[in-house]
Amino acid sequence: MAPKATRRTTLREVAEAAGVSSATASYVLTGRSKVDERARVSEATELRVRETARRLHYRVAPVAGPVA
């Protein structure tokens, strides 16, 4: 019998649990909040998103990446 596949935590789930938009969670988890002037995120929010992602065992999908 094949092992049961486990479902990955989504970016949207991390965002909802952290109380932020999925765009904000994405900016934090990809590091854009540090380099993109338009994506400024407070240190408290960044910490909350990172801690939530860690608690939910969030991992970036291997095929995920910039589109353009």
Would you kindly state where each structural domain of the chain is located, as residue ranges? 11-55
Query: pLDDT tens digits, residue range 28-52?
Result: 998 876 666 766 888 999 999 999 9
Find out whether 29 and 14 touch, Cβ atoms under 8 Å.
yes
Q: If you average pLDDT over every residue of the chain, what do you get?
A: 83
Query: Which residues contact residue 20 at a Cβ distance below 8 angstroms, ignoring those fewer than 6 apart?
Result: 45, 48, 49
Q: What is the band of 55 on the pLDDT scale with cuts at 50, 70, 90?
A: very high
Q: Is the pLDDT score of 67 beyond 60?
A: no
